Structure 1
Amino acid sequence: MTAVSQSKLPLKFRFDRQLWQRFVEIAQPYFYPPGPRSSIQFLFLILTQLVFVVAFTFFFVVSLALIGFQFAPKFFSGLVNEIIYLKFLSSLGKSSIEIFQNLLTYLPAYIFLVLLVVSSGIFYAYRRKLKGREKQWLVLGLLLFLAFIVSSLNVLISYVFRFIDNALNGRNPQVFWEFLWVYGITLVIAIPILISYRYTRRKLALFWREWLTNTFLKDYFSNRAYYELDSNAANTDIDNPDQRMTEDVNSFTTTILDLILDILDSILDLVAFTGILYSISTQLTIGLLGYVSIATILALWIGTKLIKINFNQLRLEGDFRYGMVHVRDNAESIAFYRGENLELSQVEGRLGRAIRNYDLLIVWLALLDIFQYAYNYFARLVPYLIVAPLYFAKQVDFGTIGQGIFAFQMVLSALSIIPTRIQSISSFAASIERLGMLYERFRQRETRDVVGSGIVNYPSTHFKVDGLTLNTPNAEQTLFQNLSFELTPPQSLLVVGTSGCGKSSLLRAIAGLWRNGTGTIESPDYTQALFLPQQPYMLLGTLREQLKYPNLRENVTDEEIQLALTTVNLENLSVRMGGLGAEKDWAALLSQGEQQRLAFARILLNQPKYVILDEATSALDVTNERRLYELLQSQDITYISVGHRPSLIDYHQTVLDLRSANHSGWQLLAAKDYQFAS
């Protein structure tokens, strides 16, 4: 599809249920297999894992507190008195032994123990349903645990600073140096944890990208979906599928983990620091919530605009890049036509559309910058305006000022994830839309293949076409109607007709590429058939790989390859190119006649039972053509040819003429009875 037609697509994007459904369709399969009610079970497992991590973190933090009492009893005594969910430690005694003994009678400890056991049991019960997805759940669980630990470290650091400030204000050097040592030890412990947390995030994103890309690639190459999704095809509404499976998948997996874990971090920080902030000032907490709520509404409005702009930018950048690749792949043809001025005009048009959309993106980003800068700078004044008067009135100590500002910034950051991340959220939403459309197209193809529509293809031991009416993919034209013929081994069929009558299209239908129409087609398995187009496909690889393609046989020796080259009159090709292991740009280096003879060598090496030739000898002289077709006949191969040369009749038993007297029908004749029109 061209960039112009794509730009006319009605695009209406917003944060709605459809966006959420597409997100779940893409994200869930990595962690839980799709199926009936699978989304509910997936969310249930997510909640179960959160419960497990919370329970495990509780015992982990208590263990650290017990260890901390041994090394810094003064600091940890003050700490547990300030944190509501650790106050039970201070009431149980000052020694670690007393705390441990009395912990055995503490009811919440048993509640968390039950939650730990139950959540573990649930995952054990679901082990079969996960179908080999245990690794991703383990890594995700580790990430959640590290997120809880990082949040706990932030709380710990806030109290360290508070105690240090109070020691400075009270001119108490002994307490100051003791707490400074605690801060140093905390940093030594915290830095490896923070690095591990970020490393694990990136590693899970990498695992996820690999899995999701491979999943899309399997769908892309399954049943030749890549053919239907060709950006040049007139019937596709999926632009640049290659870009969606590379850039968009990478953006999705990286952004989703960053976003979800940042949201989790924000929730943990919100829970941890709201209590601290509320203990300092109720007015400060309420004012902060109102301030952030208004900012979030404005950010969502701006973000809705940015989603469509980002979506268009991804599409237009892909169109521009595809235009440049198209010029590179067809450089010689363009040069022969002297078409560089027209190509330049088309490429500049694609670039211009991308630039104009990006210019619009810059305008909206500028508005977003104004909003975010104003939001952040004005927010810095609020804690000073509220906490300073409390200190002057001697209602709080000096260390509370620093801790209050720190807590305010943490809560502000937690509540501001939408206002501050709206650009990445908008880009992420655009990626969801693009991947979701591609995913839905793959699923529609699966449903179509199961239910069946249009032309029906059946596997068979020979070719048989019954009542075939073939339309072009966009259904704008009917090529022929009610066509029927049968070809049993070792028969051969020549298809002739005027240009545009549907000769090559018939081969596409036999190969299962075109299915728009009615009728049935029986054809052999693809592993037994070989297709030779007029312009042979030259893959990126060595000369040896070119000749063995598409590898229908294993263990083909170099001696067989050289013999095949000699048989098709290319005996010197290997020496001239530097050996069978030479890797070159074969499409540019070999003439079309050499490429067509190389394609015939593939027949000798792959030994198919059936061959379909679409003007496969059009670039050869009559002598070489006779040599290759006699080679086909000697191999006892059933073949179908499309061609225009009268000389081809000599190598076929039957002729299918799609060019009838009134140009509306077809006729099937014995080759000896057919005469080419002059």
Structure 2
Amino acid sequence: MGRLNGQVFRQFWTIAKTYWFSEEKWQARGLLLGVVLFLLAYTGLSVVLNSKRGVLISALSAKDESRFWETVVIFIGVLVLYAPLLAGYRYLRDRLSLQWRRWLTNRFLDNYFGDRAYYKLSTSNGEIDNPDQRIAEDIRSFTQESLSFLLVLVESVLAVIAFSGVLWGISRPLVLFLSLYAIVGTLVTTVVFGKPLVRLNFEQLKKEADLRFSLVRVRENAEAIAFYHGEEQEVQQVKYRFLEVFDNVKRLLLWELNLNVLTNAYEFIPFILPALVVAPAIFAGELEVGKVSEAQGAFIRVFFSLNVVVARFQALTTFGAGINRLYTFAEFLEQTAPVEASDATQKPIIETLTADRLALEHLTLQTPNYQRTLVEDLSVAVLPGQGLLVMGSSGCGKSSLLRAIAGLWNSGSGTIVRPDADQILFLPQRPYMVLGTLRDQILYPNTNIEVDDQHLKQILEQVNLADLDERFGGFDAQRDWADVLSLGEQQRLTFARLLLQKPKYAILDEATSALDTPNEAGLYQNLQAIGTTFLSVGHRSTLTEYHQSVLELSPTTWQVKAVAVSQ
């Protein structure tokens, strides 16, 4: 996005209209109407206050005591109304912003997790960086700044209408000069500073997010970095990203310096010009002294209302950059089915059929970019209640085969027959520890089911973690489980999910790689006992004891062997 232009406004409206025409549209529009009514009321009172301030000065100049005290009473009475109106306006504005943020965040989250867009984003689209920042920060900025700019614009229009009438009654040349002066200043500022400031602010958002991400990675991988003694390389990476932030801010500050020099000089004139124009009429006795103050107050309000773009230009450029980041993110999340279908007509995809069995029929699996074939014309079935072990050298496509079964990859041809998602449980190669309690860890992904503590205790005993609840203070204890549990404990805990939920089918990707042979044997024996049909990926030859057949993959061929299972 190069500058503040029609494209920015189109992007803004594409995002904004989803809320204002949603199921909450009447509530949103009602709040907006309330905000505007409060704005109208306190703008009208602002005109009265400005007028009475001039009357106060005129009364003092004329030494008219009764007029002075009468004006003071009116002034205080108006203030009594003005203060709660202004407070109410700000409350309704912020409440509407909060409602909008809640709705828009939920919409983005639904799209982010729907159809596994978060996974597609992590594997196929490098241009959409830091989705966490776009959801948490860019949406907040979008809703707050949208309302802020809209209401500033409405307030400016109201102020121009109200206070221009005051100025017109005092001096018509003031109104004409003021309008021309504000228009010229807005055009100069937008043309000269628009493009570089928007670009630099866009880069700033990205570089700040990259810096935060590098620091988060250090926290999440602290132990691995410590084992490798990788402190020097990590600190250099973080310093490099901070240097990018630093250099971009320097350029940004230089442009802001030039902008501030222009705006400061530009905004000084309105403070002196009204007095210069009105002074001859004051000296001639045609106007009261208080008219200077009244004209100055009205002139400044009209000037800054007309000058809203110049005064808020830096904030506008930051806002424009944020709109572009949010729009590109929304565009990715809301890719339509017809677009995907048109791509599918050019490249083959794997067909998935739903049935109460697990089988691969003439499956040819390719990488998502179709540049490499991993498995060709594979046909194999897992018989009910039995196990299939997938083995082979690293890089031959074992984990990729599981991704295809899970529906994460569909590049290739052939058919995958698999049960419904609620009948199959995947244990990925890297154990996933959710944020929550120990109970949540065991129940995941079905954390809403009711299971008593005694049953959970029995499950922990089956996976050789009998004292886990006691170590951390019970099943409702909350910890950073990925940090406090060893890799072997994490693998046993994820295996507990299988034994508790007893799915009809299970897919295990190196699910016992961090365990010793006795623990591995115990887990697979328990898995066999619950009658689950399972497919495993692994390297250890001892795994063959718990599977009825073995699928051996190589870079060019495959073969299936039957094995004798120990009881």
Superposed pair shares fold, TM > 0.5 = yes
Correspondence for 1:152? 44
Cα shift at 1:290: 1.5
Correspondence for 2:366? 471
Cα distance between partner residues in 2 of 1:340 and 1:197 = 52
Cα shift at 1:599: 1.6
Cα distance between partner residues in 2 of 1:166 and 1:340 = 72
Cα distance between partner residues in 2 of 1:470 and 1:417 = 58
Cα distance between partner residues in 2 of 1:594 and 1:619 = 9
Contact 2:440–2:447 at 8 Å: present in 1 too?
Answer: no
1:584 to 474, 479, 482: 479
Cα distance between partner residues in 1 of 2:20 and 2:442 = 42
Cα shift at 1:671: 3.8
Cα distance between partner residues in 2 of 1:641 and 1:316 = 42
1:381-530 aligned at under 5 Å gives the runs: 381-444=272-335, 453=344, 454-530=349-425
Contact 1:493–1:640 at 8 Å: present in 2 too?
Answer: yes
1:50-199 aligned at under 5 Å gives the runs: 131-199=23-91
Cα shift at 1:519: 4.1
* 2:508 maps to 1:616: no
Contact 1:235–1:473 at 8 Å: present in 2 too?
Answer: no
Cα distance between partner residues in 1 of 2:50 and 2:293 = 8
1:150-549 aligned at under 5 Å gives the runs: 150-230=42-122, 233=123, 235-301=125-191, 302-444=193-335, 453=344, 454-549=349-444
Correspondence for 2:15? 26
Contact 1:311–1:431 at 8 Å: present in 2 too?
Answer: yes
Question: For 1:346-393, what per-residue CA distance to the aligned partner results, in whole angstroms no more than 9, with x for missing partners?
Answer: 111111111111111111111111111111112322212212123234
Correspondence for 2:6? 17
TM-score (norm 2): 0.93
Cα shift at 1:491: 3.6
Cα distance between partner residues in 1 of 2:226 and 2:214 = 16
Correspondence for 2:521? 626
Question: For 1:203-238, what per-residue CA distance to the aligned partner results, in whole angstroms no more than 9, with x for missing partners?
Answer: 1111111221121112112222222233xx464321
Q: From the superposition, tell whether residues 617 and 340 of structure 1 become closer, same or farther in structure 2 (CA, over 3 Å).
A: same
Cα distance between partner residues in 2 of 1:392 and 1:432 = 53
Amino acid at match of 1:305: P
Amino acid at match of 1:422: F
Q: From the superposition, tell whether residues 640 and 410 of structure 1 become closer, same or farther in structure 2 (CA, over 3 Å).
A: same
**Aligned-residue CA RMSD (Å):** 2.2
Amino acid at match of 1:275: G
Identity of aligned residues (%): 42
Q: From the superposition, tell whether residues 261 and 467 of structure 1 become closer, same or farther in structure 2 (CA, over 3 Å).
A: farther
Amino acid at match of 2:242: L
Cα distance between partner residues in 1 of 2:43 and 2:354 = 61
Cα distance between partner residues in 2 of 1:428 and 1:581 = 43
Cα distance between partner residues in 2 of 1:458 and 1:363 = 61
Amino acid at match of 2:426: F
Cα shift at 1:488: 4.6
1:554 to 449, 456, 473: 449
Q: Which moved more, 1:464-473 or 1:180-189?
A: 464-473
Please give the secondary structure, in 1, of the residue aligned with 2:511. coil
Cα distance between partner residues in 2 of 1:459 and 1:426 = 51
Cα distance between partner residues in 2 of 1:392 and 1:612 = 93
Contact 1:552–1:606 at 8 Å: present in 2 too?
Answer: no
Question: For 1:288-335, what per-residue CA distance to the aligned partner results, in whole angstroms no more than 9, with x for missing partners?
Answer: 112111111122131332111111111111111111110110111111
Cα distance between partner residues in 2 of 1:145 and 1:458 = 58
Cα shift at 1:448: 5.4
Question: For 1:652-676, what per-residue CA distance to the aligned partner results, in whole angstroms no more than 9, with x for missing partners?
Answer: 23322221xxx32333343469xxx
Contact 1:657–1:666 at 8 Å: present in 2 too?
Answer: yes
Please give the secondary structure, in 2, of the residue aligned with 1:574. helix
Question: For 1:448-491, what per-residue CA distance to the aligned partner results, in whole angstroms no more than 9, with x for missing partners?
Answer: 56778344444433323344333334444332334343335234
Question: For 1:385-442, what per-residue CA distance to the aligned partner results, in whole angstroms no more than 9, with x for missing partners?
Answer: 2121232344433332222111111110110110000011111111101110111011
Contact 2:4–2:198 at 8 Å: present in 1 too?
Answer: no
Contact 1:455–1:518 at 8 Å: present in 2 too?
Answer: yes
1:634-653 aligned at under 5 Å gives the runs: 634-653=529-548
Correspondence for 1:77? none
Amino acid at match of 2:372: Q
Please give the secondary structure, in 2, of the residue aligned with 1:342. helix
Cα distance between partner residues in 2 of 1:512 and 1:223 = 10
Cα distance between partner residues in 1 of 2:443 and 2:382 = 27
TM-score (norm 1): 0.79
Contact 1:306–1:423 at 8 Å: present in 2 too?
Answer: yes
Cα shift at 1:539: 1.8
Contact 1:534–1:596 at 8 Å: present in 2 too?
Answer: no
Contact 1:553–1:606 at 8 Å: present in 2 too?
Answer: no
Amino acid at match of 2:131: P
Cα distance between partner residues in 2 of 1:216 and 1:476 = 32
Q: From the superposition, tell whether residues 164 and 141 of structure 1 become closer, same or farther in structure 2 (CA, over 3 Å).
A: same
Contact 1:493–1:653 at 8 Å: present in 2 too?
Answer: yes
Cα distance between partner residues in 2 of 1:615 and 1:492 = 14
Correspondence for 1:71? none
Q: From the superposition, tell whether residues 336 and 559 of structure 1 become closer, same or farther in structure 2 (CA, over 3 Å).
A: same
Amino acid at match of 2:129: D
Contact 2:270–2:299 at 8 Å: present in 1 too?
Answer: no
* 2:558 maps to 1:666: yes
Please give the secondary structure, in 2, of the residue aligned with 1:239. coil
Contact 1:553–1:607 at 8 Å: present in 2 too?
Answer: no
Amino acid at match of 1:365: E
Contact 1:534–1:614 at 8 Å: present in 2 too?
Answer: yes
Contact 1:228–1:236 at 8 Å: present in 2 too?
Answer: no
Cα distance between partner residues in 2 of 1:585 and 1:244 = 25
Structure 2, unaligned runs of 5 or more: none
Q: Which moved more, 1:492-501 or 1:405-414?
A: 492-501
Question: For 1:184-208, what per-residue CA distance to the aligned partner results, in whole angstroms no more than 9, with x for missing partners?
Answer: 1000111110111111111111111
Question: For 1:235-260, what per-residue CA distance to the aligned partner results, in whole angstroms no more than 9, with x for missing partners?
Answer: 43210000011111111111111110
